[in-house]
Amino acid sequence: MGSPVGRGDERREPICTRKAEGPAQAFWQALLAGEQGVVADLLSHPQHQLSPRTVFDTSDLEEWRNYRFNFRGLRLWSLSYEQELTTPLHITASRGYTDCLHLLLLRGAAVNFAPGGKTALHEACVAASADCVRLLLSFGADPEAVSEDGYRPLHLCKSPDSIKCVQQLLKHGAHVNSRTEEEEDTVLHVAARHGLIDHVQLLLQHGAELEARNEEGQTPLNAACAQPHSAQDMERYYRVCQLLVQSGASVNAADRDHQHPLHLACKNANAQIAELLLAQGANVNIMNYSGNTALHNILQAAAYKLEHHPELVVRTLLNYGAIRIWPGSLLKVLRYCNACPRAIEALMNCYDHVRVSEEWVSAVPAEVVQKYPRFYQSLFSLEHRPRSLQHLARCTLRAFLEGRLLPVLSQLHLPSALQRFLLLSFEDVLY
């Protein structure tokens, strides 16, 4: 079991600053450049008084420079000053300099020394340097060491390149279900939140808990759905959620704010994840602590997530039986979502009649109307004419099949064009 690490240094090694001159400065620069030969030469000269355990203070506050050397044993602190301590081992591990790291370890560097609150193993994991992780572990680095911030090395494997670090840590006894001290995140929470499909798969193979709850009451699936991500990362997060769901994660697990995975996925406008959750039985109309359903969440986010195609989420929710917006609120929706006309189209095509007025015209900025003239002209014209008979027939059938539209349609041998029409295919115009 790992133990907390801190700034204390029982060895009382000399503390150097980056502004130190002579051999100490040369030592610092050689470490930063990974120059193994220079590091070896400097350590070989007893006059230099350099050691693999030398501590560098990188805060560089001039007013404290003299006190660092003379009173380091007193652990002086103030509200305006905090030491930022590191060692040669930390420097080389954080930069992936395996040869230098090996040299320092052979020369007696303390592998679990953590004067700045983290061990060199923590640094290597942040840098996703698998070779350095392997080397440190082989010299006895504690895979369960807890940093000053409450993180174990596994919790710092947050990039796709760190998968080999995770493999090494698990091989050397790191606990797959260890938690961070404050957030109470498991390693699976961390991997899911960062959209790391390979990490998630590996952790599940090693027995990671699917339904573990963190301090906010989130499961790993909640964490993956809640994490904001760019349009280019949507597929990656979908694959993570797909793997978690296929492994048995609950699609209706609520956090402390009663946010379900579907609520969170809709906030991030990820249609693939929303479809996945709904297909696995997520409750489309359940409310969170604020009284919002998933449809409310996507409509609130649509204007800020245009590159995610929020209209796909709106259509999916409606086809799975989402309760429609109260007609009196459609004007408000128009004000917020006019830059996403297809979301407006999907909503409008769920009503047989909507009272359109002059207020609707003034709710849409002129530049938006100019960008989507055909759609908005067709919308505004509904003030004076009814919807088409074809649309009214669609509304009647959808109302009759409300809550069971998709399973019924899958059993009917309807032409594909008619199926698409019933499922609110986009035409960029209202009839």
In this prediction, residue 121 carries a pLDDT of: 98
Q: How far apart are the first and last CA of the chain?
A: 67
Confidence tier at 79 by pLDDT (50, 70, 90): very low
| Structure confidence at residue 8 as a pLDDT band (50, 70, 90) | very low
The model's confidence at residue 14, banded by pLDDT at 50, 70 and 90, is low
Task: Quickly state the pLDDT bin for 59 (edges 50, 70, 90).
Answer: confident
Residue 351 has pLDDT above 50, yes or no: yes
Query: Hey, what are 37's tokens?
Result: 């030969």
Measure the CA–CA gap between 223 and 218, rounded to whole angstroms. 6
Distance, in Å, from the CA atom of 429 to the CA atom of 372, rounded to the nearest integer, reads 10
- Specify the pTM: 0.89
Helix, strand, coil: what percent of the chain each, to 5?
55, 5, 45
Q: What percent of the chain has pLDDT over 90?
A: 82
Contact, 290 vs 260, CB < 8 A? no
Lowest mean pLDDT among 4-8, 206-210, 248-252, 351-355: 4-8
Tell the residue number behind the tokens 């040669």, with chain if given. 88
Q: Which residue has the higher pLDDT, 388 or 47?
A: 388
Q: Determine contact, residues 225/273, Cβ cutoff 8 Å.
A: yes
Give the pLDDT score at 50.
86
Q: Whats the size of the chain, residue-wise?
A: 431
Strands of 37-83, DSSP E: 55-57
Helix, strand or coil, per DSSP, at residue 428: coil
- Measure the CA–CA gap between 423 and 413, rounded to whole angstroms: 15
Residue 83 confidence (pLDDT): 60
Is the pLDDT reported for residue 206 higher than 70?
yes
**Which residue's structure tokens are 């070779």?**
131
pLDDT(93) > 50? yes
List helix spans (H) across 5-72: 23-33, 36-44, 65-70
**Residues 270, 234: Cα–Cα separation, whole Å:** 6
Tokens for 81, please give them: 């000053």
Fill in the amino acid letter for 304. Answer: Y
Residues 406 and 414: their CA atoms lie apart, in Å, by 13
Strand partners, 412: none
- Average pLDDT along the chain: 90
The whole-angstrom separation of Cα 113 and Cα 89 is: 9
Interval 254-295: pLDDT, tens: 999 999 999 999 999 999 999 999 999 999 999 999 999 999
With cut-offs at 50, 70 and 90, classify the pLDDT of residue 74. Answer: very low
Give the three-class secondary structure for 186: strand
Mean pLDDT score, 396-416:
93
Comparison of pLDDT for 73 and 97, the residue scoring more: 97
Of 345 and 25, which is predicted with more confidence?
345
Q: Which domains does the chain have, with CATH numbers?
A: 1-153 (1.25.40.20), 176-323 (1.25.40.20), 340-431 (no CATH)
pLDDT for residue 339 is more than 60? yes
Q: Which of 45-59, 236-250, 395-409 has the highest mean pLDDT?
A: 236-250
